[in-house]
Amino acid sequence: MTDRYAVIGNPIGHTKSPLIHGEFARATAQDMEYIAIEGPLEGVAEALLAFRDAGGRGMNVTAPFKLQAYELATDRLERAQLAGAANALKFEGGRILADNFDGVGLLNDIQRNLGFSLAGKRVLVLGAGGAARGALLPFLQAEPAEVVIANRTVEKASALASQFAAHGRVSGCGYQDLARERFDLVVNATSASLKGGLPPVPADAFVRAALAYELVYGKGLTPFLRFAQNAGAASLADGVGMLVEQAAEAFAWWRGVRPETRDLIRRMTVPLV
């Protein structure tokens, strides 16, 4: 019997997840189907449970339902607990297991695919929302010299840093505190690029940066990436690799086999021009 999986979000028409998991299933000879579901903004828990009760084995969860999925889970793994959100669920009998692969997907893309090791590096994360929260544990486990979280609301950045202080050297600050600071890696975890905007990061932050990474994908040279390029960043990347890598982690969690990712990332990559 074909196993059923899905991604749920609202809106969901833009999702690449059925394409990605379909490629993974073919490459690994898995008997499964994967669909997209537009969940209701009110009552999404019922939609999640209905998919499970109809025989669903697991789900990816995207905006704006990651918090609701986390709250619905009966078992929350460490990454989901620290992120306070779930981007993947697995249904096992009456149990609903929740994990969050966003951060490990980002780290895998940066280290495996882009060849940039975080060990001993200074890392700047722009934004203190869910995307930044999901990245912090995998980043700190890679043993950077320091991770700095910059946010418009300093208190939010500082509070987030305090939550992860036991896992490594991490601090929070405002954008105005970045003057004359230099970083090896700068990650834009804000949503500014979705609206054509740019977080107020100073150009000096990129002077020695080997890599500027934009979590938004498929938008070409976003304002952030263009600014980083002009400020001296050596390499630029968007989030398509993260998208595929987090999907591969969820696929391996569900199916017990991890698919190869690099060729799919290459085919999905939009030139940064």
Q: Which tokens hold the place of 91? A: 């249904």
Q: How many CB atoms neighbour CB 9 within 10 A? A: 21
DSSP 22: H
Active site residue 90: no
Separation between Cα atoms, residue 237 and residue 229, nearest integer Å: 11
Cβ neighbourhood burial of 160 (10 Å; 0-12, 13-18, 19+): buried
Residue type, 236: L
Residue 21 CA to chain centroid, in angstroms?
17
- From residue 6, alpha-carbon distances to 52, 173, 238 in Å are 10, 38, 25
Annotation: binding site for shikimate: 15-17, 62, 87, 102, 217, 246
User: φ, ψ for residue 76 (rounded to 5)?
Assistant: -115, 120
Separation between Cα atoms, residue 250 and residue 116, nearest integer Å: 23
Residues counted in the chain: 273
Residues with a catalytic annotation lie at 66
